[in-house]
């Protein structure tokens, strides 16, 4: 499937993943965004809940991407680091709603990894992003 200059890689016969893509092929200007936590410009966390922090971390990613004239649909990869797999699953509905509020129905390649802790003690999630802006915007 080719979508806005990107090709979603979906092997025939494989079930379609929910909330992410198995693979994406893209060509253009590459943008790499450092891990973002769910805090604002004053380094205050938007919420003590993981879902609220996910929303703010994604908003931070989108704000950085906008500096390169990019949009959420240009993101080809997200790597999430969460401090609690159990909390992630317990808030999955809210996390999904927060994701769609920021990213719409764009589902890039994604990995979610549980870690012992993040560098910011109050952080429950940190998300890294890679985007590719097509040669013709």
- Sketch the domain layout of the chain as residue ranges: 32-133
Residue 53 has pLDDT above 60, yes or no: yes
* Full strand arrangement of the beta sheet holding 23-26: 2-3, 6-9, 23-26
**Does residue 97 sit in helix, strand or coil?**
helix
Q: pLDDT: is 79 or 19 the higher one?
A: 79
Contact predicate 127/102, CB 8 Å: no
Q: pLDDT: is 6 or 115 the higher one?
A: 115
What's the rounded Cα separation, in Å, for the pair 46 and 111? 23
Q: pLDDT: is 136 or 132 the higher one?
A: 132
What's the rounded Cα separation, in Å, for the pair 61 and 54? 11
CATH topology for 32-133? 60s Ribosomal Protein L30; Chain: A; (3.30.1330)
**Model-level pTM?**
0.89
Contact predicate 61/127, CB 8 Å: yes
């Amino acid at each position: 499937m080719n979508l806005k200059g990107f090709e979603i890689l979906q092997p025939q016969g494989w079930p379609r993943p929910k909330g992410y893509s198995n693979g994406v092929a893209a060509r253009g200007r590459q943008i790499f965004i450092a891990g973002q936590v769910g805090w604002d410009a004053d380094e205050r966390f938007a919420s003590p809940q993981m879902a609220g922090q996910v929303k703010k971390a994604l908003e931070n990613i989108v704000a950085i991407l906008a500096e390169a004239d990019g949009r959420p649909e240009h993101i080809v990869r997200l790597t999430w680091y969460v401090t609690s797999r159990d909390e992630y699953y317990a808030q999955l509905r809210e996390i999904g709603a927060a994701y769609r509020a920021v990213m719409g129905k764009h589902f890039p390649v994604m990995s979610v990894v549980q870690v012992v802790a993040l560098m910011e003690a109050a952080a429950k999630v940190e998300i890294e992003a890679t985007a590719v802006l097509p040669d013709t915007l």
